[in-house]
Amino acid sequence: MNFLVLFNLNIFILKYLKIPKGTDMNAYKNKLVPERNSQQVRRRILFLSLIPWNLLGTSASAKTCSAIEPNTNSPVSDALKRTNLALVLPQTLSDVRHIGAKISDYLMSEKLDGVRAYWDGEQLYFRSGRIINAPTWFIDKFPTHALDGELWMGRGQFERLSGAVRRSQANEDEWSQIRYCLFEYPLAQGDFNQRMQSLSGIVEKLQIPWLRVIPQEAVKSVEQVEAKLKQLVLQKAEGLVLHLASAEFQAGRSEFVYKLKPQFDAEAKVIAIIGGQGRLQGMMGALLLETRDSKRFKLGTGFDDEQRRNPPAVGSWVTYRYRDLTSNGLPKFASFVREYQSE
Which tens digit of pLDDT belongs to each residue from 223-273?
999 999 989 988 888 889 999 999 999 999 999 999 987 777 789 999 999
Q: In the prediction, which pLDDT does 31 show?
A: 56
Which tens digit of pLDDT belongs to each residue from 128-187?
999 999 999 999 999 999 999 999 999 988 889 999 999 999 999 999 999 999 999 999
Fold of the CATH domain 264-339: OB fold (Dihydrolipoamide Acetyltransferase, E2P) (2.40.50)
Q: In the prediction, which pLDDT does 179 show?
A: 98
Among residues 199, 224, 194, 197, the alpha carbon closest in space to that of 211 is found at 199
Which tens digit of pLDDT belongs to each residue from 212-225?
999 999 999 999 99
CATH class of 82-260: alpha beta
Measured from the Cβ of residue 83, the count of other Cβ atoms closer than 10 Å reads 17
Question: Is there a contact between 310 and 264 (Cβ–Cβ < 8 Å)?
Answer: no
Q: How far is CA 32 from CA 12, 36, 43, 51, 119, in A?
A: 19, 6, 11, 16, 20
Which residues 6+ apart lie within 8 Å of 19 measured at CB? 13, 28, 60
How crowded is the C-beta side of 77, counted as CA atoms within 13 Å? 20
DSSP H stretches of helix in 259-324 = 305-309
Longest dimension (CA), the chain: 71
Among residues 205, 157, 160, 154, the alpha carbon closest in space to that of 181 is found at 154
Integer Cα distance of 214 and 204 in angstroms: 13
Catalytic residue among 63, 111, 259, 332, which? Answer: 111
Please say if 259 is a catalytic residue.
Answer: no
Which residues 6+ apart lie within 8 Å of 45 measured at CB? 29, 32, 33, 36, 187
Average pLDDT of the residues of the chain: 82
Which residues 6+ apart lie within 8 Å of 208 measured at CB? 141, 142
Model's pTM, two decimal places? 0.61
Torsions phi, psi of 77, nearest 5? Answer: -50, 130
Which tens digit of pLDDT belongs to each residue from 82-102?
457 999 999 888 788 888 668
Which residues 6+ apart lie within 8 Å of 275 measured at CB? 281, 282, 283, 284, 285
- In the chain, where the domains are located: 3-74, 82-260, 264-339
